[in-house]
Structures are given as C-alpha cells and as structure tokens.
Amino acid sequence: MSVPSGANGSPSDAKTASTQPGKRSQKAKARRRNLAIHAKPLPLETHPLPAFHPSNPISLLRLCYAWISDALFSPTSHPARDFVGYFSPETRSVHVTDPRCARILWQMGFFGKGTLSRSEPSWLKREEARVREQRMKPKGRLAAEDWTNVRREERRMFKLERARLEKEKIERQRLIEAGDLPPDEEEESTELTAEPPPEDIPKLTTEITVDAPVVGGHVTPPMDLQNGHINGDSKRLRPTLNGTLLPAHDLASQPSSPLIVRSPQPFPGPKTVEEEEAAEEDEEEESRGRAIENQEHLQLTFEEAFFLVYALGVLTIHPAKRRDLSPLSVKFKPQPYSTIDLLELFCQYSSFPPQDTVWISPDEQFLLNYVAYHHFRSLGWVVRPGQKFGVDYLIYQGGPVIAHAEFAVLIVPAYTDRYWNTPGGRARRRVYEEKDWWQLHCTNRVQSRVLKTLVLCYIDIPSELDMDFDDVIDVGKLMRSYKVREFVVRRWLPNRSRD
C-alpha cells in the first residue's frame, strides 16, 4: 500500500521537501544579484528627471530645477575615458586587454566573450578559486575531483590486469589442448605467475660475475640440472623463449658466458613527514607572494566593435602589432581608426581570405550583419552570436545570465530593388544562391528542439546608385538606406494544433 507524501511520508520525503525551499531561495538570491550587476543595458550613464506628483507642489520645483540644470550644464552620458581596443587581423576581431574595461563591457550589455572562457571572462576568478582551494585543503585529504581521478585510475588498472590474466588463461588452455602443458601443472603455474615480488630488495654495491648459460642470445641464470629436474625436485623445468617451450636437457648443452651485473644507483628514500610539511609550506609561501597574472582579454566581433564605436561612441580602436596581441607599449602610439576607416576595414576582413580592394558593395556580409545587429540592439534586445544553433544571432530579453534566448535570427538578403534585376545588377550580386527549403526546415527543427522561435530577418539591399557618395562616405545615410523586415516561423505540429 502506498503512503502519500506529507505528514505520513518517509523521513527522506520530509528532508527533500525541507531542502526545496532552500534551493529556491538560493536561486532567487542569485537572480537578484545578477539583475543588480547587469542593471544597465548599455555602458552609458543616464540622468533621469525627478518624479512629478500633482498633489505635491514641491515636486514641480524640483523638476524645474533639474530641467534648468540639465539645460545649462548638461552632464555627459559617456564614461570619463573611452574604452580602448586593438584590431587583430589574425583572429578577425577586436581585443580589449584592460580588465576593467572588459568587465564593464560584459556587465553593461554583454559585449564580447573571454578568450579563455565560454562567454563571460572568468578565467582569473577560476584560477584564484583553484589556488584558494589548494591552500585551504586539509593535509592528507583530496578534493572530489581528485578522488574521481583516483577511482578512474584504479578502474583502468583493474581492467588492464583482468585482461592480462584472461589472456594468460587462454594461452595456458591452448597449450593444454596442444599437449605441451600437462593439466596438473596449471594450478602451480598460476601461483608462480601471480606471486608478488619481494618487498625488500637489497642494494647492490659491488660488481658480481656469474656463469650463466646463453640460449639464442638470451642469458639465463645457472641451475643444477639432474635429468631435467631442479635440485632433485619432481617438477620439470619449462623455460620459455619467445613463446616456445624448450626442454631442460637442451639448456645443459649450451655454452656458458659470464654475466656482469653492475650495481644501480640507489633510489632516494621516502621523505619524512617533517620534510613534506616543510616543502608544502614553502610552496604555499611562494604562491601567496606571487600574484596571478590575468592572461585573458575580451574579444569583440566586428559588429559589436562597430556598434560601440559608431552608435555609442565609447570605444576607440587602435591598430595592433602583427605578432603582439598584448597591450601596446608606450613608445608605439598609432592613430586610432576613424568610423569610415573601420567600415572599410571590417568589410575587407569580413570574408576569408581578406579582400584586396576596399570598395564597399551594398550586399557586403559585414553590412548585412551589422544592420541586423543594430536593429535588434536599438529595440532593447541583447544580441549574441548564434553559430551554435545554426543561425546568425540569438537575442535575449535580459541577457545570457538572466534567461535563455527566446528567438533565433536568420539573416536573408532581399534584392527587391529594380537595379538587382538588371543584367549588371545580377552580375554584381554577392549572394548568388537562395536558401533551399530543406535548409530552412532543418534550421527550424533545431530551434524547436531547443525551445526557440526562428525569426527570418529580411534585409532590403539598396542599389549601388544609392550608395554613390562624392568623396566621404556618410555612414548614417548608408545605414538609413537599408530596410529590415521580420517574419516569425514556427514549426507546425499536428498533435498540438488539433481542435
């Protein structure tokens, strides 16, 4: 008879029920902490006006004072100094090497990823936790991961030993069936094979010369042979050479040669407890005095870097040395890239191998990606790369640490202008083939399996005549010439759509 859980339930059920509220409270605390850390959606400072209450006349005075102050002395929303990044042609990305700037860019908008982490740059935090755990680990105790490694090694050695014994057993059975090994000696051979080596091995300090017979180039120790027996024992001698048996009387007829055994170097004895403790204390003092150097930096994609430079104006990008991705030296101070230079540079390196010319086409891959990125960022979404799920972007409502991505964006170029239907326009198209229907269904099925909604982002590409600038490219006019259309695609399931 089953007993319902509750007052009459088992103690384990009561314990589980008591621990569930604790887990929920911990998750709630972690969520509140993440919301407080990532409260700002962008790395900008906002200055809101005070609230106005019609029932309180003083609030009107405060509102007027704040409005006049902002009009006369308008505070800036940008940080005191711009963030600095370095263009890397090898990785086709922008590197932010300052840990403070990297932390701010991640906490305010989730820009970039750590080079030594999956997303958030947390390598230094993990290393500090590992070193702290090693310092606080009690003597003679291992962590859970260490015990797991020990058990895995024990299981591996047990399997190897078991396979070896099974192989020997099969070989002995084969010899018994062939008549080379009597069945009554199987038990003894097993005992001789499984006999452990002696624990105490005397140290050899002198050279020893022994007369030993040589059989086929192999040296065997001398023995007293009497009619194929050892010292009158009833058991026959069965030496084995390369897996074959040799009768005992053949050994006596072989010539002997001196065997010289030189004494090896004595192994160092085990350390005492005092020596081990002193060595551990020395290692701890060295680790305390040596600070961990942060070897991780933030890696920005071209779209993220251009958004921070063009749309927000908080990032300055410098050309980096070819063989040095670390912060540039004080003597090397190149001029930062301008917005137009970055546009041409990113269009040049958006394809592999990089293009030789800097002529910008309307259907450049970087322009299409940035238009979609800028569009969803301006709507308040957090945009992250989506190659893991076979799409261009994943958009989050709060961020990767707040909730999972709700939508997956797939960019579809649309040549709707009349120019692209002319022979010259068809020849200048960069995207020659449209996506097949089976590619769309495969992508949609993947998104349905991971509980995401597929969004087709159609970007209407302008003609080259609309991009005919005189001397200087107007980035704002160029971006306004693109149009974005969104279509949500859902996978139809008959079982869920029945009346």
User: Is residue 249 among the annotated active site residues?
Assistant: no
Residue in 113, 374, 375, 452 annotated catalytic: 452
Catalytic residue, chosen from 53, 125, 404, 441, is 404
Q: What is the rounded CA–CA span in Å between residue 425 and residue 440? A: 26
Categorise residue 140: left if φ over 0, alpha if ψ from -120 to 50, beta otherwise: left
Q: Are 417 and 411 in contact (CB under 8 A)?
A: no
Q: 331 an active-site residue?
A: no
403, amino acid identity: A
Q: Measuring CA to CA, which residue among 305, 306, 351 is closest to residue 479?
A: 306
Q: Determine which helix (DSSP H) or strand (DSSP E) holds 395, and give its type and residue range.
A: strand 393-396
Side-chain half-sphere of 110: how many Cα atoms within 13 Å?
A: 24
Query: Which 3 state secondary structure label does DSSP give 181?
Result: coil
**What are the phi and psi torsion angles at 129 (to 5°)?**
-65, -40
CA distance 319 to 338: 11
Q: What is the dihedral of CA 347, 351, 356, 359, to 10 degrees?
A: -30
Nearest to 191 by CA among 163, 177, 172, 218: 172
Residues in the chain: 499
Q: How many CB atoms lie within 10 A of CB 247?
A: 12
Choosing from 373, 396, 415, 482, the catalytic residue is 396
Closest CA to 310 of 349, 338, 344: 338
The residues near 451 (Cβ < 8 Å, ≥ 6 apart) are 404
DSSP-assigned letter for residue 269? P
Q: Are 53 and 414 in contact (CB under 8 A)?
A: no
Could you give the dihedral angle defined by the CA atoms of residues 49, 51, 54 and 56, in that order, rounded to the nearest 10 degrees?
Answer: -110
Amino acid at 124: L
Q: What gap in Å lies between CA 456 and CA 166, rounded to an integer? A: 61
Read off the amino acid at residue 286.
Answer: E
- Calpha distance 422→37 (Å, rounded): 53
Q: Cα 494 to chain center, whole Å?
A: 39
Q: How far apart are CA 228 and CA 224, in angstroms?
A: 9
Q: Is 452 labeled as catalytic in the residue annotation?
A: yes
Whole-angstrom distance, CA of residue 182 vs CA of residue 200: 34
Interstrand relation of 483-489 and 453-460 (parallel, antiparallel or unpaired): antiparallel
Indicate the DSSP class of residue 431: -
Q: Just list the catalytic residues.
A: 396, 404, 452
